[in-house]
Amino acid sequence: MKRIGMLTSGGDCQGLNSTIRGVAKALYQEFGSDIEIIGFLDGYRGLIEDQAKIMSPRDFSGILTVGGTILGTSRQPFKMMQVPDENGVTKLDRMLETYKKRELDCLVILGGNGTHKSANMLRENGCNVVTLPKTIDNDLWGTDITFGYQTAIDIATDVIDKIHSTASSHSRVFVVEIMGHGAGWLTLSAGVAGGADIILIPEIPYSIDAVVNTLEKRKKNGHKFSIIAVAEGAISMEEAAMSKKEFKAARAAMTDPSIAYRLVREIAERSDVECRVVNPGHFQRGGGPCAYDRILTTRLGAAAARLIKHQQYGNMVAVRNDQIMPVPLSEVAGKLKTVPPDCEMVQTARQIGIYFGDELPKKKKDKDKKKDKDKDKKGE
């Protein structure tokens, strides 16, 4: 009898249930009644506290289109995993104890960046682990795409689409704040798909003067409204020049509720454009997966079952060039996949006239500079 533990960890997203379903159905097909799946509840907490449920094939039926996670989830910061409690016992100790007590052959872990660091720690401590890449942020290193991302793009795009009518009716500027602290993938994709006029992402620090300049230029050119898609982790050029410590202090002192509100305030201080914030927030993680994510998660889930069958543990199931393949957890853990500022999608966006807030007034042309130099030489 094979005993497989399963857990979903970190922020939820679309496609967790369809992934679990893919893994379970493929395992039942392969091993029949010779397999037992144990669902740990609320992420790593279930493993730490040995809160679990013995699953049956029926538990995995009818969940392909269901949002959230039937196992529940929680955030368990990696940095706290090896901190001893009052009895000198760490969360890691407890998880290893549960793994042993439950006589697991493998743990299937669905999660994003933090989750993968902890999964790798379990691997380093002797557990057999197979992971699956979850996050609407698409910022997990080692895979071209994470599940949840495509559905979240659809939702954020829909927000931008819908705000167009009010922006146009009222001749306003709308700032749509899109999830993503460390990486701007979702904002970039939804911004392009929704036809945003300005896209601000953490990887391309912006100048507020450039943003205001663009808004005014658009107005002068007859555009009645503008839409700014801003990632929640977008930073200004001044912030980009700060040390980590200075940046933290500056953000702690920020009185605006979020980056979108700060932008609206700063724009209002510099111009007379009427500006509003739209924050779809956790809507972006809500509901069931789109067709693309249903297919992707079924492929990923079945591939995880294959890894278990062949005992290829210690891997994340990844997508590279549309091929599903294992990537060693040791390579994935602790690395963030950010948007390369000169990537094709950014270039395409610029090419069609989307601004990124880094369009500072042009320096004097080289020709003019040479003229100035010549004048200096002549003493004019």
Enumerate binding residues for ligand F6P (CB under 6 A). Answer: 11, 112, 135-137, 179-181, 232, 285
Q: Which of 137, 139, 154, 197 is catalytic?
A: 137
Residue corresponding to tokens 């379990």: 122
Q: Quick one: tokens of 20? A: 């679990």
Please state the closest distance from residue 29 (CB atom) to ligand F6P, in A: 32
Closest CA to 284 of 363, 177, 192, 212: 177
Please state the closest distance from residue 345 (CB atom) to ligand F6P, in A: 19
SS3 call for 185: helix
**Cα dihedral 108, 113, 116, 117 in deg (nearest 10):** -160
**Closer of 60 and 149 to ligand F6P (Cβ):** 149
Please state the closest distance from residue 138 (CB atom) to ligand F6P, in A: 10
Residue 5 pairs in a beta bridge with 38, 107
Alpha helices in 131-175 (DSSP H): 149-170
Please state the closest distance from residue 76 (CB atom) to ligand F6P, in A: 12
Based on the residue annotation, tell me whether 342 is a catalytic residue of this protein: no
Round to whole Å and give the CA distance between 360 and 209: 8
**Closer of 155 and 210 to ligand F6P (Cβ):** 155
**Closer of 113 and 128 to ligand F6P (Cβ):** 113
**Closer of 123 and 285 to ligand F6P (Cβ):** 285
**Closer of 204 and 267 to ligand F6P (Cβ):** 204
Please state the closest distance from residue 224 (CB atom) to ligand F6P, in A: 31
Nearest residue to ligand F6P by CB is 179
Per this entry, what is the length of the chain?
Answer: 380
Residue 7 pairs in a beta bridge with 109
Q: In Å, how far are 74, 152, 204, 328 from 199, measured between CA atoms?
A: 31, 17, 9, 34
SS3 call for 251: helix
How many CB atoms sit inside 10 A of residue 31's CB? 16
For the chain, counts of helices (H) and of strands (E): 14, 11
Which residues are catalytic, by number?
A: 137
